[in-house]
A and B are shown apart, each in its own frame.
Chain A
Amino acid sequence: MSGHHISSAKFLWGIGIALFFLTFVTVAVTWIQIPEPWNVVVAIAIAVVKATIVALFFMNLWWDSKFNVLLFIMSIVFFILMIGITLLDTLYRTDPIPSF
């Protein structure tokens, strides 16, 4: 039975505290001035870790059917594809859109 995993209250609180802690880390790394572009990389990396924790243990993907995991991963793959193809255009323009 993939869909009826019951997490213990202690476990859910543990996940919550981990997320609070990572939020603190996200803010704390802005106090030490990390040079460009690494500050963005660090901020995104922490956000990805937090999002993964939420998806696995709050949205229960860890115990869920593999098909739901696949759906989630495919949405990210197509998102990256959209960004990638868009940037192939916009990064190599000599002039952005006039007046925008």
Chain B
Amino acid sequence: MSDTSAVTEHKTDHIQHHFVDSDQQFESSKMGMWIFLVTEILFFGGLFAAYIVYRAWYPELYLEASTQLNAFWGTVNTAVLIGSSLTVAMAIRSAQLNQIKGLIINLYITIGLAITFMVIKYFEYAEKLEKGIAPGRYYTYDGLEHEKANIFFSIYYMMTGLHGIHVVIGIGLMIWLVVKAKKKVFHSGYYTPVEITGLYWHLVDVIWIFLFPLLYLID
């Protein structure tokens, strides 16, 4: 390790005056992120509650309506998101080891996978909307027997739509990380934004892990 005085100076740059040291700052940021993730879990929790209530009322609706969802593309998207969780974990590892090039490459792969996810989602949505499978009162498809078929798709669009918004925000955050990494902001002593964006991204993955079997794999 070639620790010049310039590098040492650089390593305390990020510490804000109201923190005792780098570690305390890091731990505080991470705890703040976990509290935010708690609110996210309860945010999605409301939608899961709607899903459960309506599934208890109309179990046969879910069986029938989920046949309109393509399990193959759902599986592909699950694999894509798990892959992106892996590359985010690798990005954090690169940052911890001061390998900034590796950090940027892993972030690029993650962004690529996230965009792949959204493109697949776009084609899924487009295919349904073309058939008239729209949420709520905009539902015009007549291929399903159940009179409340629109309810399943309202829930489907709300849950996957909110999840999709989170993916798009994640893409934005990771572009921001790439920009910062290129400006040489991150090093093994300071990679807090990478760490907490990683936490966010893993949570988005966890939510999809539940959405996938609950929406695509009924029956």
Contacts and interface: CB of A to CB of B under 8 A. Distances in A.
Interface of A: 1-4, 6-7, 9, 12-13, 15-16, 19-20, 23, 26-27, 30, 36, 39-40, 43-44, 46-47, 50-51, 54-55, 58-59, 64-65, 67-68, 71-72, 74-76, 78-79, 82-83, 86-87, 90-91, 96, 100
Interface of B: 23, 26-27, 30-31, 34-35, 37-38, 41-42, 45-46, 48-49, 52-53, 56-57, 59, 71, 75, 78-79, 82-83, 85-86, 88-90, 93, 96-97, 148, 151, 198-199, 202-203, 205-206, 209-210, 212-214, 217-219
Nearest to B53: A90
Contacts, number: 133
Contact of B49 (A7, A36, A82): A82
A51 B48 CA distance: 16
A59 B202 contact: yes
B209 A54 contact: yes
Contact of B42 (A40, A75, A91): A75
Contact of B93 (A7, A16, A83, A100): A7
A23 B71 CA distance: 12
Given A20-B79, A65-B27, A4 B96 contact: yes
Given A12-B89, A23-B79, A82-B49, A3 B213 contact: no
A68 to B, nearest CB: 5
Given A7-B93, A26-B213, A2 B49 contact: no
Contacts of B199: 59
Contacts of B34: 68, 71-72
A47 B27 CA distance: 29
